[in-house]
Amino acid sequence: MEKLSKFKKIFNRIYHQLFVENFDKKLNFEFPKDYSRLDMINYFIKKNDYKSYLEIGCDKNQIFSQIDLNKKIGVDPYSGGNVRKSSDDFFKENTEKFDLIFIDGLHVYKQVKRDIINSINFLNNEGVILVHDCLPDTIGKQAVPRYKMQWNGDVWKAIVDLRQRDDLEIHTCFVDQGIGIIKKENNSSTLKIDKKTQDLKFSDFYHNHNEYLRIINLDEFKKIY
């Protein structure tokens, strides 16, 4: 993962406060300690007898090395996985389809949205896309440009954006920094908002995260999926 110098942290924090947003309220997110992204990935694989896996952003293979499927591809321009490319370059050349795609690459809205849309094109019909880091609890954790090591980025904006489409069924599960769950099905609760996604701020997320991201808890997740 990208290292942040002390200078960059200070510069980006001041830049963000002056030119992007200054909002100091925090959300009290306490994610369950006994259920992780790996648990969710394995839950889907087992329940649906999935055979193929694609991970975007692998870092030290914390998850990738633990996926027990013969067909697995991990894409990362810097470390981990088995394809040394950016997600954009990978999708330009890829011809394979996958049952489960886990998106955890560059946590910046436009990149995540592109990763999701590209993934939709390479997802088997009964497959699922999981998106990590959808629920930041402070402005620091979501700030772009980044100034904290613990960073979710503004991944949540990609979910809000796509929740306005009629052809995708999307929930966000309240586990492990928030996991977006996307299926190629009719949207049973299309989000309607009057702001453009790029104009949304952390204050909008703070006040509207339940509706914007259609958050469900673990019990609800297991009933729905």
Residues that bind ligand SAM (CB under 6 A): 1, 37, 56-59, 62-63, 75-79, 86-87, 104-106
CB of 18 to ligand SAM, least distance (A): 26
DSSP per position, 79-90 = SSSSB-S-HHHH
CB of 178 to ligand SAM, least distance (A): 13
For residues 102 and 112, the answer to whether their CB atoms sit within 8 Å is: no
Tokens coding 194: 């009057």
Using the minimum distance from each CB to ligand SAM, give the nearer residue, 170 or 179. Answer: 179
Using the minimum distance from each CB to ligand SAM, give the nearer residue, 54 or 200. Answer: 54
Beta-bridge partners for 101:
54, 129
CB of 54 to ligand SAM, least distance (A): 11
Using the minimum distance from each CB to ligand SAM, give the nearer residue, 105 or 136. Answer: 105
Using the minimum distance from each CB to ligand SAM, give the nearer residue, 38 or 193. Answer: 38
For residues 190 and 168, the answer to whether their CB atoms sit within 8 Å is: no
Instruction: State how far the Cα of 173 lies from the Cα of 31, in Å rounded to an integer.
Output: 10
CB of 56 to ligand SAM, least distance (A): 5
Instruction: State how far the Cα of 87 lies from the Cα of 193, in Å rounded to an integer.
Output: 29
